[in-house]
Amino acid sequence: MSVKQSDKELLRYLEEQIGFLQQSSDAYDKGFKGEAKRIATTIRVLLHDTRQSTSLLTSLGKKDIKFYSTASSIDNGTAMSTHRLVGLNRPVNRSKSKGTYYAPLDDRPPYIDVNKKIVFRQWWNEIVIIDTMRNEFSRKDLVFSMSNNRGGAHIDPGLNDAYVALTRYDSLGWTACGPKRIDRGLSGAELAGIRQICHEVLKSLTDEFPSFFISNSGK
């Protein structure tokens, strides 16, 4: 027999999950990129509904809130790949550092409205990556692939071909010139994407549950 949990208990779980996201974000920002797996798993707990399980926000009646979208717009006139959530750092001093994808948080160009809000279904399924082979990835795709296949909730022995191309062969196609001026493909767009999604989730939850963020307001 299942026992229905009270709103007070569910809110305590939510505060705990928010703490998980904050701690994993701090660790990621300090260089431990593997935290993206835990971030993805926590986001799935908060947002993913199935026939067998109910997300925490649905249980709280908060799945209908609007979410911040920090994604850039899609240029339908270009054949280039698109990474709408992440930034690309291509260093000036190429002999000492290599290019990387990074999560810009709210540090976006002026033409991107980082305070734009959209309904959950649109936000969850919005295409945020299009690679050179025209494979498309939504926030949901990135979260699921990271948590299901990369050791977040479990490790799937098989990987989607498009996700393999993105994560192992950088199908976005961007390169940086390293030492001896040898171009090399970049990696980690999916990791930076998960970190940026986490930023959007925390920012959205701050509006709905501000008391859970008071202790971190000075950071």
For the chain, the first-to-last Cα distance in angstroms comes to 44
Sign of CA dihedral 148, 153, 158, 161: positive
β-partners of residue 79 are none
* Cβ 174 vs Cβ 81: under 8 Å: yes
Both structure tokens of 11:
């809110």
> How high is the pLDDT of residue 219?
41
At 124, which helix (H) or strand (E)?
helix 120-125
Q: Is the pLDDT of residue 107 over 90?
A: yes
Query: Tell me: the pLDDT tens digits for 6-45?
Result: 889 999 999 999 999 999 999 999 999 999 999 999 999 9
Query: Tell me: the pLDDT tens digits for 143-176?
Result: 999 988 654 444 444 457 787 777 776 767 665 5
The 3-state DSSP class for residue 117 equals strand
> How high is the pLDDT of residue 153?
44
Other CB atoms within a 10 A radius of the CB of residue 108 amount to 16
> How high is the pLDDT of residue 183?
47
- The full length of the chain comes to 219
* Cβ 192 vs Cβ 102: under 8 Å: yes
The larger pLDDT score, comparing residue 183 to residue 185, is at 185
Both structure tokens of 17:
């999950």
pTM (2 d.p.): 0.85
